[in-house]
Structure 1
Amino acid sequence: MSTVSNAVAQRDNGPAALVKQYSNDFASVLPSHVKADTWVRLAQGALKKGKRQSDGRFDLEVAASNNPGVFLAALLDAARLGLEPGTEQYYLTPRKVNGRLEILGIVGYQGHIELMYRAGAVSSVVAEVVHERDVFRFQPGRDEIPHHEIDWDATDRGPLRLVYAYARMKEGGTSKVVVLNRAAIQAIKASSQGANSEYSPWVKHEAAMWLKSAVRQLQKWVPTSAEYRREQLRAAAEAQRVATAPTAPAGADTPQVEYVEGEVLDPEEWPEPARAGGAS
């Protein structure tokens, strides 16, 4: 078979074709606001980024071909979260396992911010890196938000020094301000898988990984999607119950209601019903 025929065969049976083959599976887990066709095209296009090898294929194509199962699992994770693969929402990076490239999926800082917005409690998220020549002041308990001055005309703002993140809440007010210095970032990097690999976003997108570290810490201080939506649904149900409750006639005694403390469970957490005969 000629070199051209080999290239065509690889293209028709390669990872891009695999993405198309499983497009219905991705569509079944994507959030309703994400268009499945657009998401699939982004996943296929992501394979054409990065270094090109001697056979004409890109590193990501090679990594995906070497272990299709790991590649599809990374895409399924991105689809479940509703994040765009191959972007700063969700990185697709090659890594070496036993001497061969494989795909590693990593949620990026923009992905974490997107998930916070989707929860519904946050109106805006601010995340910025601070360079050595920037002016930065922030004292917890005194300042609501950091004071950060940047000389936009500077050709060199110096090395990265700090990173910070905070959120403005829809009901008003500001979340906790997260500030991390270089030592804190280095500790986070040291615990990251393959952080020093030539393919790692810690090497290729250092500032973005600093931002991700701060935003991930910020997530601990704002409502998560699940808890916020549960509370919103609970409040809406209570408002509906009060609005539709019959009005007691004038002079009637107010019935005494006994309240029992307990935990509200999602339907998925309900216990299995007991079966006849006591079988477990």
Structure 2
Amino acid sequence: MSQIGNEIAKRDNGPEGLVRQYREDFTLVLPSHVKGETWVRLALGALRRDRNLMQVANRNPDSLMNALLECARLGHEPATESFYLVPFGNEVQGIEGYRGVVERIYRAGAVKVVKAEVVRQNDVFDYDPDMERPVHKVDWFAERGDVIGAYAYGIFQDGATSRVVVIDRPYIDKVRKESKGSDKPSSPWVKWFDQMVLKTVARRLEPWVPTSTEWRKEQMRAAQEVAAERTDTVQQPPVYREPAPNDDLNDDEGPIEGELVD
């Protein structure tokens, strides 16, 4: 077999071939706003750009497939700031980024603004449960100090504020410690610490705001079912009842069974 033939065989039997083989499965999982063919091309491009990722995917293709399926389920594009494909040891890890969490909140359509900020030692921060929103003042041109916490909230389309979520540094450190390989140089906790803190607080916000387009689709489906039921009720033909021998059809004694009555 020629060198070109060998390269094609490797491609078809390796991670790229696996992604192509299961493209229909990815398409079934993807939300309706994501085009399956484009998504598959992005996944293939990520493998070709990152030699380390390709090597790990060759050794452990199951980990790549699991990461890509999770990426598809969440409706993100692979190997972007919304969803990272990180080669770690002998497996590919799929990690949703802060942007990905926020995108899923916006997609639902119920929230018009997501506010998430890191709080540092020299910032002015004030919040208690009786306040609608926190007060956070930052001197952007001074030394802000170490990260001491973060907060997040959503503003709904009608202007109302969601639950305000506040996390402190001990909680951040706890989440980081529970993250596999968080002390490794390749870990997002090392490379993008602030982004991981924002992701952590955004994830805490999720229970208090709708996320993903599937929520909107469910609302539309429910509304369509209600409308259909009303239409069926209005258009239902009257039920004819044979009069009893003593019935006088000219008497106005009330509605005949099957009549449509306002």
- Shorter-chain TM band: 0.7 to 0.9
Runs of at least 5 residues in structure 2 that lack an aligned partner in the other structure: 235-252, 256-262
Taking only the aligned residue pairs, the percentage that are identical comes to 46
The one-character-per-residue Cα deviations of 1:218-248 (angstroms, maximum 9, x if unpaired) are 01112355667545644554466457755xx
Distance of 2:28 and 2:232 partners within structure 1: 37
Q: Which residue of structure 2 lines up, in the alignment, with residue 22 of structure 1?
A: 22
Structure 1 residue 172, shift from structure 2 partner: 3.0
**TM score, norm. by length of structure 1:** 0.71
Of 122, 133, 140, which residue of structure 1 is paired with 2:111? 122
Query: Aligned-pair distance for 1:174?
Result: 0.3
Whole-angstrom CA distance in 2 between matches of 1:234 and 1:198: 48
Q: Which of 146, 160, 177 is matched with 2:164 structurally?
A: 177
Say if 1:186 and 1:237 are closer, same or farther in 2 by CA, change over 3 A: same
- Cα deviation for residue 129 of structure 1 reads 1.1
Are positions 1:63 and 2:52 aligned together?
A: no
For these two proteins, the number of residue pairs brought into alignment is 237
**Helix, strand or coil at the partner of 1:47:** helix
Structure 1: which 5+ runs fail to align? 51-57, 254-280
Q: What CA distance in whole angstroms lies between the structure 2 residues aligned with 1:209 and 1:72?
A: 24
Contact 2:12 2:18 in 1 (8 A): no
Which amino acid letter does the alignment assign opposite residue 95 of structure 1? F
Q: 1:147 to 1:243 in 2, by over 3 A?
A: farther
TM-score (norm 2): 0.75
Check if 1:136 corresponds to 2:125. Answer: yes
Give the match's secondary structure for 2:34: coil
Q: Please give the residue correspondences for 1:107-256 in structure 2 after superposition, counting only pairs within 5 Å.
A: 107-142=96-131, 144-154=132-142, 156-225=143-212, 230=218, 233-234=221-222, 237-238=225-226, 241=229, 245-246=233-234
Change (3 A) 1:37 1:153: farther
CA-CA distance at 1:162 after TM superposition: 1.5
CA RMSD in angstroms comes to: 3.4
1:24-70 Cα deviation digits (max 9, x unpaired): 332232222112233223223333667xxxxxxx3212211110111
Q: Distance in 1 between matches of 2:164 and 2:5?
A: 57
